[in-house]
Structure 1
Amino acid sequence: MNDPLLIREDADGICTLTLNRPDAYNSLSMELMQALITTLDAIADDTSVRVVILQGSGRGFCSGHDLKQMLGEGEEAYYQCTFDTCSTLMQRIVNLPIPVIAQVHGVATAAGCQIVASCDLAVATETSRFATPGVNIGLFCSTPMVALSRAVSKKHAMEMLLLGDMISAGKAAQIGLINWVVAEAAVAEKTQEVAAKIAASSRKAISIGKQAFVRQIDKPLDEAYIECSRVMTENMLTHDAGEGIDAFINKRKPRWQHR
C-alpha cells in the first residue's frame, strides 16, 4: 500500500518512469496522473535528462482510466476533472522538450493506448495488444481519439474506435501506432538501445527539433516551411550546431554542451 505510484530512475541521460499500480493494470487514477504531470514538469527543466522511457509494472502497460475510482465518485465535476487532467497529461508528453519512448508489454487499452499514441516512439513485445474499447461499455473513447487520430490514419483510427477490438503488436506497427515489435525478453534492451542513441545527441538540437515537429505538423505546407526555416536558423546559432559541424569536418567525435 505504501509503494510509490510512479517510480523514477535516472542513468546516463535516460529517465525511466514506471507506472506502479500492478494490481490495477497501472490504470490511471487521479493520483497517478497528477504524479506523472508533476514529474514530467520537473524533467522538462532538468537538463541532465535527454530522453524519457515510460513503462508499466506487473502484467501490462496500462489499462486506461481507473473506472472503479470514477464510479465511486459519480459526479459530473469529478468526471470533468478526470478527463481534463488526462488531457493535460497527454499534452505534457507531447510538449515535453525531449523525446518520450513507450516501452509496452501486455495490454495498452483506452487511455493506456492514448499514452502510447502520445509518445514520440514506442517499442512493444510480440504479445502486446492495443485497443480503444470504450464503445463496448457505452463510453466512446473520445479523449484517446485525439491522440490516436494524430498517430494513425483516419480509417485505422475509426476501426479501433468503432469496433473496440484488440489489435496485435504487428498490426499496431503496420498502422503506425508503434515503431518496433520485439520478443518479450528483448523489449527492455531494444528500448534502452533506442534511448541511448537519442541520449548521445545534443539535447538542445533534439529539443528544438521535437518542438518544431509538433508546431509544424498541422500547418499548411507553406507555413510549415516558413516555421521550420526559422527553426533551422535558430538551431544553426546554437553552440552545439557549431561544435557538431566542426567535429564532422575534422572527423572527430563532438563534445556536446547541450546549448
Structure 2
Amino acid sequence: MSEESKIPPYFYFNTKYCDWFQMLNNEQAGAVIKYICSYVKQAELPTIEDQAAAMLIEFIKTDIDHSFRKYHAQCENGKKGGAPKGNKNAAKKKATEEPPINELFGDIAYRIADVIFWNAQKEDFAISEYLSKSQIASIAACYHILDVDDISDIFDGTMKEFIINKSARQFCNELKQYAAAEFEEGDETFTETFARTKQAADKLLKMSLDEIKHFYSKCDLALEATDISETQIKEHYDFTEEEIKQILSARRQQNNPKTTQNNQI
C-alpha cells in the first residue's frame, strides 16, 4: 500500500460540525456518519439524496482531505529522517510552512447567505435572474477575502444598481480587482486564496438557491434569531413540524450547554 493510499488511524471531529448536526434529523445524521465512514475507509460510497446531508458531507470531507494530506506529508517527512526530536527551531519552521486548518466552509456559507438572500432581499433584487452560480461564488469569495457583508463602502450605490446599470460581469471583475489590491499576502497568494474560497462556494451552490435559503433560514432561527417565537415561526416560515422541533431543540442546547452535557452523561 502506498503512503498516499494508507488510511490514517484517526481524524478530528471539529466542534463546528455540532451546530450543523443539530439541524439534521436522526436519519440524515446517520446517513452522514455512514458516508464519512465509507469515505475514510476508501470503500464504496453510498448514494446521498438528501441535500442538507450532502452539504454537511462536503464540509467534513474538506477537513478530512486536509488532515489526510497533512498525515501523508508527515509520513513522507519521517521516511526522510525529519528533524531530531526536541529540535524546536525545526518544529517552528515546519509549523509555519503547513497550511492552516481549513475552516472555510463556515465562513463562506454565511457570505453566500449574505450575497444571495439578505442583501438581495433588502434591495428587492432577484439575484438569480442576473447572476450565474459561478458569479455568486466569485462575489462570495471576494466578500470573504475583504471581510465585508455588502459593497456600499467600496462602490457608489448598491450591487443591484451596479449590475443593472452596467453588468454582472463588470461587477464581478471590478470587485475581484479591488479584493486583489486590498489582499495582504501571507502563506497564500491572492490567486490561491480566491481559487480555494471560490471552490468551496461552488460546492455549496450545487444545491438549488431555494434549498440553500431554506437551510440557512433554519440555521438562523436556531442559532441567531432566537427572539422569534415558536408561534411566529409557524406563521411566517415554511417548516415542517419535525424541522420546528429541530430548531427549538438546537435553541435549548445553545442556551443551556451545561444542561445538555448533564443529560448526555
TM-score, scaled relative to structure 1: 0.25
Whichever structure has more helix as a proportion of its residues is 2
TM-score, scaled relative to structure 2: 0.25
Structure ID, larger Rg: 2
Tell me: higher relative CO, structure 1 or 2? Use CA pairs within 8 A at least 6 residues apart. Answer: 2
